[in-house]
DNA sequence: AGCGTTTGATTAATCGATTAACCATTGATT
DNA sequence: AATCAATGGTTAATCGATTAATCAAACGCT
C-alpha cells in the first residue's frame, strides 16, 4: 500500500531544527544530555508541528505497549460501569490505556479473552474473576480483584467488613430475627459478605441464610422465596448481598402489601445506579472502586517496570504459576450508606398488609 | 534495559526451517507466492513454537494498530455493559481490539478522552455521544451511535419506532390518558422516544409530557413528581423513557399504595438488568445492541481499510468535518417486551390506595 | 602546556513484520 | 533451440522511537 505517513515524527522535528533524531528523543523524554535551550526549542517545535509519538514505534523498541487488559468474565455485572471507569482513570493517570475483553460469562471463552489481550501485547492484566475461577499462566503480570480471602488476590474491597457494618447497623436498629439472602453460594465475594454479617451478629440475634440461585435452578424462574411467610414468622430485616437482590425483595414485598421499612428493613450491597432513586432508597454498602483501581494499577505497573531483570532465560518453559502481583494494601474499607429502606425493628404481630395508615 | 525478546518471531521460525522471514510472513498471511507444502510446514512450525505475531511490529509497518476506541461520554449509562460487550464482540470477531475511554461526564474531558485514544493509535472511534455533543475533527474514521434523526449518525436503534411500539401497546390496552415521562429534554435519544410515542397516540388519547431533570434541578432532589395526584386525576399509564425512570415511578407508586398495573400501567425503555426481576417485571423496549455494534464496527472497518488511497497530501491542514462513517442500515428495529407492569386500563374512580383485594 | 573530565550532541543498531523489487528455476510456446 | 511466462523464493528497505557507543569540544586542574 505504501501509505505515506502524514504526521510529524522524530526525524521530521530533527530535520526542521537541523539536529539528530536521537537528540530530539532525548530532549522530549529528558533522558540523555541535551542543553537547556535546545530542549526548549525542541519542545516548542514539537508542539508547533503537533507531534504525537508513535506508540507502535515505541512499543516495538521498548517491548512495552503501555496498555493494560481488563478482563471481566461476568460483564453483565452491573458494577461494570464503575469498574471500567475507575480502571480507565487509574490507568490513564499513569499513562496507560485500557483494553477490554469479555468472555460472555462462559469459562472457556475466558481463556480466549485473555488470549486476545495477550496477542494485542498488553503489559499486564486486571482480572475480576467470576466465582473463584483460577487464572492460568499467561506470561505477564496479573492483578486479581476478588476478595481478601481469595488466594492470589491483589486488592479488593473488604467485603467481610462491609457485611459486618450492615449487620451492626441492623443490630443497632434492634432487629433480632434477620434473613441473610445470597445469590450464588460459589461466589467468593458473596461468601465474604455473608460471613461478615454472621460474624457481627450477636448470639441473641437469630439469622438464617438462603441462597437464591440454587432455588431458581431447581424450581425454575417461577420459584418463589415465600417472603410473606418469612415476614409473618417474625423476620424484621432482610440483608442481601447485592442491590439487585435487594430490589427484587423490595418490590416483591411492596407488591405483597408490606411496608419497607415499616414492616421489614431491606439492605443491599454495591450502591448501584438505581439504589438512590427507588422508593424507599436502599440502605447499602458502597465500595471505593477508584481506590481499588488505583492500587491494582499501581501494583501492576510496579511489576511491569521492575520485572525485566528477572526475565526468564528459558522462553519455552513457561511458568505454571500465575504471576499475580501483590499490593501493600490488599483490602480497602467499604462505606455504609444509610438511606430509607432500613428502620427500627417493629416485630410483626398481626398481619395487616393493607388497610392501615402509615 | 536491553530486554531480550523471549517469544518466537518470524525470524526464529524462518531460521528453524531454513527459509527467509519474508517467506514465513507470506505463508502465514497467504499473500505472496509460497508452495502449498511449505505453507503447511511453516504453519505447523509456528504452532509448535507458539508463535504470536507482534502487534507493535505489524502496526509500525502497516500503520494500523488493529484497535478501535470506544468513547462513552456518559459512562454512568446503565447500558454500558451491554454496549461494551456488544462492541467488544463485534470488534474481536473482525480481529480488532477495543480500547475504552471515559470522560467522566464532563464535556471538556471528552476531548481529552478522544485525544488519549488517538495518541494510542486507534484506527477508528466508536462514539456514543452525550446529548448531541458534536465531535470535532479527529483524523480517523468515527462511527457515531446516537439516533437516526441526528446528523452524522452512523447507526442506532430506531428509538422513534420503539416509542411507537410502546404507545401502541398502551393504546391497545385501552389507555386514554397517558403520562409521558422523560428525563433530559436535551437528549436526542429521549426526544426520539417521546416523539415516537406521541406520533403513535391517536387524537382520542390524552397525553402530557413531563421532563424530570429540569424539575430536579430547580426544585432540588426532594422535588416530587406528584404522581398520586396525576393518577387520581385520571392517568392510567405512565410511559417513561428509561427503565431507571420506570423503576423510580414504580416504587414510588407502590409506596403510595397504588397497584401496578392494577391502577396504573408503567413502561420503561432499554431492558436493563433489573427489569425482569422486579415485581411487577417491567414492560419495556429492548434494543439489539449486538446488531448495532456489528454494523458500526463493519462501517468503521470498511472506512479504515478503504481510506488509504484518498489520504490527504496536506498533513497540516486537518479536515474540519468529522469523518463520521455511513452504514447501509442506519436504524435497527427495537423489540417490545411485554411483562407484568402493563395491563388493561381501569379508569380510576375512587381512590382506594389500600384496603382492597386484587 | 598537557591531561583528564564533563558536557552536548551524533551514529548506528535494534525491535518485528511487511512488501516492493529482484533472482532463479521450471514449463510452455513457437 | 530460443524466448517468454509462470512459479517459488530471497534481499533489503522500511515503519518510528530508543539507546548504547562514540566523538568533539570546552573546561578544570596541576
Q: Which residues sit opposite A102 in a β-bridge?
A: A72
Task: Find the CATH number of the domain harbouring B22.
Answer: 1.10.260
Query: Protein footprint on strand D: which nucleotides are under 7 Å from a CB?
Result: 7-12, 14-21
Interface test with A, best of B10, B88, B106, B262 (most A CBs within 10 A): B88
Distance from CA of B204 to the nearest CA of A (A): 32
pLDDT band of residue B307 (cuts 50, 70, 90) is low
Q: Is the pLDDT of residue B315 over 90?
A: no
B112 or A87, greater pLDDT: A87
A144/A26 same-domain check: no
B280/B164 same-domain check: yes
Element housing B253 (H / E)? helix B243-255
* Residue A216: per-residue pLDDT: 86
| Domain assignment present for A147 | yes
* Residue B63: per-residue pLDDT: 93
* Residue A107: per-residue pLDDT: 67
Q: How many CB pairs under 8 A join A and B?
A: 187
Q: Is the pLDDT of residue A264 over 90?
A: yes
B153/B295 same-domain check: yes
Going by C-alpha positions, the residue among B98, B202, B18, B34 that lies closest to residue A102 is B98
Decide if B8 touches A, using CB distance below 8 A. Answer: yes
B86 or B347, greater pLDDT: B86
A97/A47 same-domain check: no
Measured between alpha carbons, how far is A287 from A40 in angstroms, rounded to an integer? 45
φ, ψ (nearest 5 deg) of residue A68: -105, 145
A29/A128 same-domain check: no
High-pLDDT (> 70) share of chain A, %: 87
Measured between alpha carbons, how far is A74 from B185 in angstroms, rounded to an integer? 34
Instruction: Please tell me which of A123-137, A233-247, B117-131, B134-148 the model is most confident about, judged by mean pLDDT.
Output: A233-247
| Domain assignment present for A2 | no
| Domain assignment present for A355 | no
Query: In chain B, which residue's Cα lies nearest the Cα of A65?
Result: B56
pLDDT digits (tens, 9 = 90+) for A74-126: 666 788 888 999 999 999 999 999 999 987 766 677 788 888 999 899 999 99
If you average pLDDT over every residue of chain B, what do you get? Answer: 88
Chain B residues whose beta carbon lies within 8 Å of the beta carbon of residue A84: 75, 80, 84, 100, 102
| Domain assignment present for A351 | no
pLDDT digits (tens, 9 = 90+) for A339-358: 999 999 986 655 444 544 44
CB–CB of B52 and A78 under 8 A?
no
* Residue B357: per-residue pLDDT: 41
Measured between alpha carbons, how far is B156 from B126 in angstroms, rounded to an integer? 12
For residue B29, what are the domain limits?
10-53
Q: Is the pLDDT of residue B332 over 90?
A: yes
Nearest by CB: A248 against B78, B102, B278: B278
Q: Is the pLDDT of residue A315 over 60?
A: no
Measured between alpha carbons, how far is A332 from A284 in angstroms, rounded to an integer? 17
| Domain assignment present for B90 | yes
Instruction: Please tell me which of A97-101, B73-77, B304-308 the model is most confident about, judged by mean pLDDT.
Output: A97-101
Alpha-carbon dihedral of residues B72, B74, B76, B82, nearest 10 degrees? -40
Give the A window 53-72 contacts with B, CB below 8 Å: 53-57, 59-60, 62-63, 65-67, 70
Whole-angstrom distance between the N-terminal and C-terminal Cα of chain A?
Answer: 76
Distance from CA of A58 to the nearest CA of B (A): 8
* Residue B129: per-residue pLDDT: 86
* Residue B358: per-residue pLDDT: 42
CB–CB of B3 and A280 under 8 A?
no
Chain B residues whose beta carbon lies within 8 Å of the beta carbon of residue A312: 6
A19/A37 same-domain check: yes
Nearest by CB: B3 against A274, A279, A308: A308
A139/A194 same-domain check: no
A36-40, A130-134, A170-174, A327-331: segment of lowest average pLDDT: A130-134
Q: Span A216-243, mean pLDDT?
A: 85
* Residue A322: per-residue pLDDT: 56
Q: Is the pLDDT of residue B223 over 70?
A: no
Query: Protein footprint on strand C: which nucleotides are under 7 Å from a CB?
Result: 7-12, 14-21
* Residue A308: per-residue pLDDT: 46
Residue matched to cell numbers 536521537: A22
φ, ψ (nearest 5 deg) of residue A355: 75, 20
Q: Span B155-161, mean pLDDT?
A: 98
pLDDT band of residue A72 (cuts 50, 70, 90) is confident
φ, ψ (nearest 5 deg) of residue A117: -65, -45
| Domain assignment present for A73 | yes
Q: Span A292-321, mean pLDDT?
A: 67
* Residue B232: per-residue pLDDT: 86
The number of distinct structural domains making up chain B is: 3
If you average pLDDT over every residue of chain A, what do you get? Answer: 88
Q: Span B336-351, mean pLDDT?
A: 84
Interface test with B, best of A85, A92, A256 (most B CBs within 10 A): A85
> From the alpha carbon of A37, which nucleotide's C1' atom is closest?
C8
| Domain assignment present for B238 | yes
* Residue A32: per-residue pLDDT: 87
Measured between alpha carbons, how far is A186 from A147 in angstroms, rounded to an integer? 13
Distance from CA of A263 to the nearest CA of B (A): 13
B82/B202 same-domain check: no
Q: Span B87-114, mean pLDDT?
A: 86
pLDDT digits (tens, 9 = 90+) for B266-277: 999 999 999 999
* Residue B174: per-residue pLDDT: 96
Going by C-alpha positions, the residue among A219, A228, A251, A244 that lies closest to residue A179 is A228
B268/B303 same-domain check: no
pLDDT digits (tens, 9 = 90+) for B175-211: 999 999 999 999 999 999 999 999 999 899 999 999 9
Nearest by CB: B81 against A77, A313, A354: A77
Q: Is the pLDDT of residue B310 over 80?
A: no
Chain B residues whose beta carbon lies within 8 Å of the beta carbon of residue A244: 273-274, 277
Chain A residues whose beta carbon lies within 8 Å of the beta carbon of residue B70: 100
pLDDT band of residue A132 (cuts 50, 70, 90) is low
Distance from CA of A139 to the nearest CA of B (A): 10
Measured between alpha carbons, how far is B52 from B46 in angstroms, rounded to an integer? 8
A14-28, A59-73, A319-333, B259-273: segment of lowest average pLDDT: A319-333
Nearest by CB: A247 against B53, B119, B274: B274
* Residue A223: per-residue pLDDT: 62
pLDDT digits (tens, 9 = 90+) for B14-38: 999 999 999 999 999 999 899 999 9
* Residue A111: per-residue pLDDT: 82
A322 or B289, greater pLDDT: B289
Contact B196, B264 (CB under 8 A): no
pLDDT band of residue B75 (cuts 50, 70, 90) is low
Nearest by CB: A97 against B55, B75, B116: B116
B282/B175 same-domain check: yes
A78/A164 same-domain check: no
Measured between alpha carbons, how far is B345 from B175 in angstroms, rounded to an integer? 5
DSSP calls for A231-261: HHTT--EEEESSHHHHHHHHHHHHHTT--TT
Task: Find the CATH number of the domain harbouring B221.
Answer: 3.40.50.2300
B255/B170 same-domain check: yes
The 8-class DSSP code of residue A15 comes to: H
| Domain assignment present for A347 | no
Q: Is the CB of B26 under 7 A from strand D?
A: yes
B8 or A5, greater pLDDT: B8
Q: Is the pLDDT of residue A146 over 80?
A: yes
Amino acid at each position: 500500500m505504501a501509505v505515506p505517513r502524514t504526521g510529524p515524527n522524530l526525524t521530521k522535528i530533527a530535520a526542521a531544527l537541523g539536529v539528530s533524531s536521537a537528540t530530539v528523543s532525548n530532549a522530549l523524554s529528558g533522558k540523555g544530555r541535551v542543553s537547556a535551550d535546545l530542549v526548549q526549542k525542541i519542545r516548542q517545535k514539537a508542539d508547533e508541528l503537533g507531534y504525537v509519538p508513535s506508540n507502535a514505534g515505541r512499543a516495538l523498541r521498548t517491548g512495552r505497549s503501555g496498555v493494560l487488559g481488563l478482563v471481566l468474565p461476568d460483564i453483565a455485572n452491573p458494577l461494570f460501569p464503575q469498574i471500567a471507569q475507575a480502571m480507565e482513570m487509574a490507568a490513564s493517570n499513569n499513562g496507560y490505556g485500557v483494553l477490554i475483553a469479555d468472555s460472555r460469562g462462559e469459562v472457556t471463552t475466558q481463556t480466549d479473552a485473555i488470549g486476545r489481550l495477550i496477542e494485542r501485547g498488553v503489559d499486564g492484566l486486571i482480572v475480576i474473576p467470576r466465582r473463584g475461577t483460577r487464572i492460568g499462566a499467561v506470561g505477564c503480570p496479573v492483578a486479581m480483584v476478588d476478595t481478601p480471602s481469595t488466594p492470589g488476590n491483589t486488592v479488593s474491597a473488604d467485603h467481610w467488613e462491609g457485611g459486618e457494618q450492615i449487620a451492626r447497623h441492623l443490630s443497632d436498629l434492634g432487629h433480632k430475627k434477620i434473613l441473610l439472602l445470597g445469590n450464588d453460594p460459589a461466589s467468593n465475594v458473596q461468601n465474604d459478605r455473608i460471613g461478615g454479617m454472621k460474624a457481627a451478629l450477636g448470639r441473641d440475634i437469630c439469622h438464617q441464610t438462603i441462597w437464591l440461585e440454587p432455588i431458581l435452578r431447581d424450581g425454575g424462574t417461577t420459584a418463589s422465596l415465600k417472603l410473606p411467610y418469612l415476614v409473618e414468622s417474625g423476620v424484621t430485616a432482610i440483608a442481601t448481598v447485592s442491590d439487585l437482590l435487594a430490589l427484587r425483595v423490595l418490590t416483591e414485598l411492596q407488591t405483597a402489601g408490606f411496608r419497607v421499612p415499616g414492616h421489614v428493613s431491606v439492605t443491599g450491597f454495591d450502591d448501584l445506579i438505581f439504589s438512590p432513586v427507588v422508593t424507599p432508597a436502599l440502605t447499602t454498602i458502597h465500595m471505593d472502586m477508584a481506590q481499588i483501581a488505583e492500587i491494582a494499577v499501581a501494583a501492576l505497573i510496579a511489576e511491569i517496570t521492575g520485572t525485566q531483570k528477572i526475565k526468564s532465560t528459558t522462553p519455552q518453559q513457561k511458568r505454571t504459576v500465575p504471576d499475580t502481583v501483590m499490593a501493600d494494601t490488599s483490602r480497602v474499607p467499604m462505606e455504609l450508606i444509610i438511606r430509607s429502606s432500613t428502620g427500627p425493628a417493629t416485630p410483626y404481630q398481626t398481619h395487616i398488609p393493607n388497610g392501615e395508615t402509615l
